[in-house]
Amino acid sequence: MASEIFDDKSNHVIPFILSHLSSPNTPKDRPFFIGLNGVQGAGKTVLTSTLNSTLTSPPYSLSIVVFSLDDLYLPHSSQVSLAAANPDNPLLQHRGQPGTHDIPLLVSIFSDLRHNRRTQIPTYDKSRFSGQGDRAPESEWHTVNVDPANPVRVVLFEGWCVGFQPLTQRQLATAHSAAVSRLHDTTSYSHHQGQLAHHSLASVTAINDALRQYRQIWSYFNVFVHIDAADPMYVYKWRLEQEATTKHDKGVGMSDEQVKKFVDGYYPSYELYTDALRRGLFVDRENVKGSEPNIHAPAPLFVHRHPFNPPPTFWLSIPTRTLPSPYEVYHVS
């Protein structure tokens, strides 16, 4: 039976966004950029839909564009070439990980939005090429800022790895070595968890190196919302719930084993980058090559989801001043 998906976040996220949108420090001559991160199945799609419908309706009636990092996957031909150029890296054999997105195109889109220029937002058809996916023709792209008198006021950009920050090579090597040690530690429960140790250091280094280019995008954000998980392993349960809903609604979907393999391909990045995302973000954004200048540190909000239904409890944490800073933490039921 499909699990019902609850929206237990928007009542806290919307006031957070509105408070910063109306702040005197927020420029009024350009869009307000919102970054949204969350593991698969944590509720990004439901939250995004609620935010969009609420903020475009009275009394706010804001002009909003909503799109996802998934919309910027490489065209199928480019993904095939990438896989062929990296035959020993299983993380690059299919779409998903950093390195499989069209970052130059995404940078161009964000720049056009920032300057209120006419902008085309691509779409991606995941069903093409027997599920390998491909970018949709430009005729199916969404065009915004058509009317100069009514430019986009809010940009809502979501994705599973939005906000992830690359590690130094030393940090990466240390994390990988620790994962390999846990894999061979048969006395520990952690021996059974994680996917990082199943990939070579060279493979994850390629992902980490690719992630450096993504920071240009993160630098645009005025606020950032992170839907966290009490344990990243919950993503397997939540993704199974999503697939059960898909099967219920469409009659087709992946098997449980296919879902596991699907999540396995993403999980090394959860292991590598989630802890840093929890500690704070964009603390050195002024040092990011190609970043968007912004004198105000972006404000983060963290929503902490537990794997229970009915509606879970979660944590909100908001920095007291600019980053890095202590967090005021509230437990909300």
DSSP one-letter code for 122: P
In a domain, 313, yes or no: yes
Between CA 225 and CA 36 the distance in angstroms is 5
With CA atoms as reference, report the closest residue to 55 among 190, 245, 223.
Answer: 223
Per DSSP, what are the bridge partners of residue 124? 135
Quick check: 235 and 263 in contact, CB under 8 A?
yes
In a domain, 1, yes or no: no
Quick check: 121 and 67 in contact, CB under 8 A?
yes
Count up the domains in the chain and report the number.
Answer: 1
In a domain, 3, yes or no: no
Between CA 298 and CA 303 the distance in angstroms is 16
Q: Which range marks the domain in which residue 286 is found?
A: 10-332
In a domain, 319, yes or no: yes
CATH of the domain at 153: 3.40.50.300
Quick check: 279 and 228 in contact, CB under 8 A?
no
In a domain, 5, yes or no: no
In a domain, 277, yes or no: yes
Q: What is the pLDDT along the chain (333 residues), one digit of tens a residue?
A: 444 445 567 788 888 889 889 888 888 899 999 999 988 877 788 889 999 999 999 999 999 999 999 999 999 999 999 999 999 999 999 999 999 999 999 999 999 999 999 999 999 998 899 888 999 999 999 999 999 999 999 999 999 999 999 999 999 999 999 999 988 876 665 444 789 999 999 999 999 999 999 999 999 999 888 888 777 788 888 888 878 887 888 777 778 998 898 889 999 999 999 988 887 665 554 444 555 544 344 555 555 444 444 333 333 333 322 333 333 333 332
In a domain, 4, yes or no: no
| pTM for this prediction | 0.84
Quick check: 216 and 103 in contact, CB under 8 A?
yes
In a domain, 165, yes or no: yes
